[in-house]
Structure 1
C-alpha cells in the first residue's frame, strides 16, 4: 500500500523524532493514505516556514507486517480513540508501547471539539457524534524503529 509523508525535505530514511508539540498519537513518524492531505500539510508548512518548496514523500508500506507488530487500530472516532488522543495531547509524560497506531486525524478543525470535551462542556458521546460529521482523513504513526522497517521509500514529489 502507498502512504505519504509531507515534509520540507526529502525523507528517504524515516526516523523517530521528538516533536516540538503534543501530537495525536505521540512521538514517531506520521504518514497518511491521503496524498492530498500530505500535500496540504506541506503547503501549510511552506507558508509557516517561508520555504520555497516542500515534498510529498511516498512509501510502500507492507501491511502484512502489521500482524507481527504491536498495533492499535481505530477505524473511526470512538470513546477509546478520543481518550487516547487526549492522553497524548494533554497528559505530561504519557507514552505508549505500540509499534504502529492507525486512525483518524484530530486536525485543528476538530480539535476545538476536543477542547470542549476536555473542559467538560460536552460529553464524550457528543464529541464522537460531532466528529463523525467531519470527513476525517487517516494517519499512521510509526512509533518504533521496528515499525519503520516496514516502509520502503519510493519517491518524493516536489511541491512549489
Structure 2
C-alpha cells in the first residue's frame, strides 16, 4: 500500500456496471450517499478500466432486479487525471496483508484498523476481494481476528486476477469532479441477445 501521486499512469476511461433504472441519476451526477457502506474500500463510487469487468458487474446487479423493464448497462466516464493531483490516493499494487486488513476494516466498519470509513482517501485503487467468498471469510475472520493471512488467502480471487481485474473507488466530491459522463450502453435487455 502506498500513497500515490503519479496519476499519469491512471487510465483515461473508466467504466461502471449498473442497471438502467440508475442511469438517469448517474447522468445527473454521482451521489456517494447512494452507495453501499460495507464495501472493500469504503462507501464510494466504484469503477474499473476493464469494460468486461463492468459488464459482468452490471449483469450481476441485474440478477437482483426482477423487473423485466430493467436492463444491464455499462456507463463510461472520462477521467481528468490532472484533477486528481494533490488528492489523497491510496494504491494497493497487489494482494497483501495490508490490503486484506483494509477490506476487513471497511466491511466491518472497524475504525481501530486502517480503513476508509471516514473517506480520508479521495481515491483508492487495488485488487477486488472475492465477492463470492467474502461473507464466509468475514465470519471466519471475526472468530479469529488475528488471522490476516488466512483472510487474505480466502478473499483473493482465483477467477478475477489482479491487475486485469481491479477497482477504483472515488470517495470525495473533489475526486468525483475528475469524472465526466461519456455515455451508457445497454449490454443486456429482456428479449434481446
Determine if the TM-score, normalized by the shorter chain, exceeds 0.5: yes
Match of 2:56 among 26, 40, 53: 40
| Greater mean alpha carbon deviation, residues 110-119 or residues 84-93 | 110-119
Q: Show the 5 A alignment for 1:1-160.
A: 1-8=12-19, 9-10=22-23, 11-12=26-27, 13-51=29-67, 52-91=70-109, 94-111=117-134, 112-120=136-144, 123-129=147-153, 131=156, 133-134=158-159, 135-136=161-162, 137-159=165-187, 160=189
8 A Cα contact 1:77 1:132, kept in partner: no
Q: Which runs of 4+ in 1 moved over 4 A?
A: none
2:9 is aligned to none
**Structure 1 residues 100-138: Cα deviation after superposition (integer angstroms, max 9, x where no partner):** 111111132342445434432983234445627552421
**Structure 1 residues 53-93: Cα deviation after superposition (integer angstroms, max 9, x where no partner):** 13100011133444321111101111111111111001356
| Secondary structure at 1:49 match in 2 | coil
Relative contact order (alpha carbons < 8 A, sep ≥ 6): 1 or 2 greater? 1
**Structure 1: which 5+ runs fail to align?**
none
Give the drift of 1:151: 0.7
- Quick check: which has more Rg, 1 or 2? 2
Cα separation, partners in 2 of 1:57 and 1:48, compared to 1, 3 Å: same
State the TM-score, normalized to the length of structure 2: 0.72
Give the drift of 1:6: 1.1
CA-atom RMSD in angstroms = 2.4
State the TM-score, normalized to the length of structure 1: 0.85
